[in-house]
Amino acid sequence: MHQTPIIITVALLGAELTREQTPYLPLTSEELAQSALECYQAGAAMVHVHVRDDLGNPTLNPNKIMEVLTKIKTVVPGLILQLSTGGSVQDSYIDRIQVLHCQPEMASLTTGSTNFGNDIFLNPRPFVEELARQMLAKKIKSELEIFNLAMMEEALRLIDVGLVKSPAHFDFVLGVPGALAASEKNLDILLERLPQDATFTVAAIGKHQFPMLELAIQKGGHVRLGMEDNIYLEKGVLAKSNAELVNKVQVLIKQHGRCSASPQEARTILGL
């Protein structure tokens, strides 16, 4: 029986989604802060943040990122802010490293390259190591984003060589087209390799989101959800907000006799 409260992380918008796909996508700093507030009120402890420019396109402009982080901090003090270093597949390595100057409490760290739909999400070893090194230096805790099995090997190597501090926190991202499929078997294979002291969350794309999150809850993990990963509350019904998705996972959490973690509890669990 796992009694630890469950950390709900909300990936508010991602870098790829457009308003054509869902009119409910938060894009501006005001909309992102409002969405973060609603998610916090629904029980989320952390948000995974991407940023858009004034046209709604993904950007890694540090001023724009600071504007969004500051706005969220003002509206929802205490929420854990995890900044994406993944950006979009078009972003340069240097821009992706420079977002760390915005000094978020956490940042994502994808440990290898993968097909990403029709694109390639590039994360060569020297770049990943440099990101990890700078996160260590800036005391930013990484969330190790694992899209396939080889990324798990690389994450374990980063821990081994001291570029990622233990206890590490993993995010198993399952069901990205071209990467590891969302199945219990694949999750179990990843969990077999999970270091004893590590924590993990599961993110799954589209219709796989809630079934995989339920498995995460059952297997002692945490949950990541949000429009970046899935825009539907149920088949054919768009979520009108990220908070609606949080409310839905709360039902699963309660069904399993568990509760969600406050940001402070999440900090303790993650050793922040």
Stretch that binds Zn ion, among 23-31, 54-62, 76-84, 211-219 (CB under 5 A): 76-84
Does position 116 interact with ligand KMH (CB under 6 A)? The reply is yes
Q: Tell me, by CB under 5 A, how many residues bind Zn ion.
A: 1
Of the two residues 109 and 243, which places its CB atom closer to ligand KMH in the complex? Answer: 109
What is the rounded CA–CA span in Å between residue 156 and residue 196? 12
Q: Which residues contact 211 (CB under 8 A, 6 or more apart)?
A: 182, 204
**The binder of ligand KMH chosen from 40, 121, 170, 172 (CB under 6 A):** 121
- The owner of tokens 């940023």 is 51
Say whether 109 sits in a helix, a strand or coil: strand
Stretch that binds ligand KMH, among 23-31, 34-42, 83-91, 202-210 (CB under 6 A): 83-91
Does position 82 interact with ligand KMH (CB under 6 A)? The reply is no
Does position 86 interact with ligand KMH (CB under 6 A)? The reply is yes
CA atoms within 13 A on the CB side of 127: 19
Of the two residues 16 and 129, which places its CB atom closer to ligand KMH in the complex? Answer: 16
Helices 184-193, 149-160: axis angle to 10 degrees equals 20
**The binder of ligand KMH chosen from 85, 201, 230, 242 (CB under 6 A):** 85
What is the rounded CA–CA span in Å between residue 13 and residue 78? 20
Of the two residues 205 and 249, which places its CB atom closer to ligand KMH in the complex? Answer: 205
Does position 84 interact with Zn ion (CB under 5 A)? The reply is yes
What's the burial of 255, exposed, middle or buried (CB within 10 Å: 0-12/13-18/19+)? exposed
Does position 250 interact with ligand KMH (CB under 6 A)? The reply is no
Say whether 140 sits in a helix, a strand or coil: coil
Chain residues that interact with Zn ion, rule: CB under 5 A? 84
Footprint on this chain of ligand KMH (rule: CB under 6 A): 14-16, 84-86, 88-89, 108, 110, 116, 121, 145
